[in-house]
Structure 1
Amino acid sequence: MTGTVLRFVTHSTHPPFGHRSGIFKVAYGLSRALPATTSCVEELAEQLIWFENNMAKSTRFSTSRHPRAQGTAISWVKASAHEHVRRLRLLVALVEEAGHVQIDELRTERPGYIVFEDNHQVVALPFADTPR
């Protein structure tokens, strides 16, 4: 893995591991909770569908192949995946507007021990100094 990776996170933590919850968790929660008449619900749904169709879903969140191993890895998008980053920033704006939730952008070149990688993303077990 080379280059910078990005992660968009809330200020709430993801139990039980303590890292901050990502943009998709809050975006899906809002898409289910907001009334259909809310102005940004349709655009929010469109962006989530785009990611479902254009971003692989990792099946590994641990270095162990044991079926009950704790999946503590976190997902990052590659800064070089320009369309994904552009759409993530649009998703951030929609979430902040609709849910009044502040989203922070984390950047690193050291996401951790990589358990999954493709052209658009990295899933890694964070190092001690990896931002979360």
Structure 2
Amino acid sequence: MDLIRFVTDARHAPYGHRSGILQAAYGLLADGGPADPQQAELRSLVDWFERHLAKPSRFTVSRYPRAQETAISWIRGSAREHVVRLRRLVALVEVAGIAVTELRTRRPGYVVYEDDHQVVALPFADTAR
């Protein structure tokens, strides 16, 4: 089971893991860039993910309501359509000047949520993030 994560150099404070590609895309949309045709495609891709990728209800193993949500999301390599669309999203984000790195793992950490397309896990100490 290969899991894939596309990350930028931006870091989530206070946890230190790198921000994912969707976070970068939302930031670009909020800032009004990139140029018009790419902006429309960026919006279209983000809208597609909002419709076709479940929003996990938890990002922690704790049931305590104020627990720190430090889990990170990975896409399953078998979720082909999602991966193809993420790669296009990567291209658009890179055109806007944001470097993106692809991470792969088979050991994402302690799984707190999973479905047919994604795994959300608290990373092990040796898990790339």
TM-score where L is the length of structure 1 = 0.94
Contact 2:5 2:75 (C-alpha < 8 Å) held by counterparts: yes
CA-to-aligned-CA distance 1:20-68 (integer Å, 9 cap, x gap): 0111111001012125863300000000000000000001100001110
Which ranges of structure 2 fall in alignment gaps of 5 or more residues? none
In the other structure, the counterpart of 2:115 is 118
Contact 2:4 2:74 (C-alpha < 8 Å) held by counterparts: yes
Cα 1:91–1:129 shift into 2, 3 Å: same
59-68 or 36-45, which moves further after superposition?
Answer: 36-45
In the other structure, the counterpart of 2:7 is 9
1 CA distance for matches of 2:30 and 2:126?
A: 34
Which ranges of structure 1 fall in alignment gaps of 5 or more residues? none
In the other structure, the counterpart of 2:102 is 105
* Stretches of 4+ aligned residues off by more than 2 angstroms: 35-39
Cα 1:92–1:36 shift into 2, 3 Å: closer
In the other structure, the counterpart of 2:125 is 128
What is the aligned counterpart of 1:68 among 66, 86, 98?
66
26-35 or 66-75, which moves further after superposition?
Answer: 26-35
TM-score where L is the length of structure 2 = 0.97
2 CA distance for matches of 1:36 and 1:110?
A: 35
1 CA distance for matches of 2:82 and 2:63?
A: 29
**What is the identity, as a one-letter code, of the residue corresponding to 2:12?**
H
- Alignment length (residue pairs): 129
Over the residues paired in the alignment, what is the CA RMSD in angstroms? 1.2
Q: Secondary structure at the match of 1:45?
A: helix
**What is the identity, as a one-letter code, of the residue corresponding to 1:106?**
L
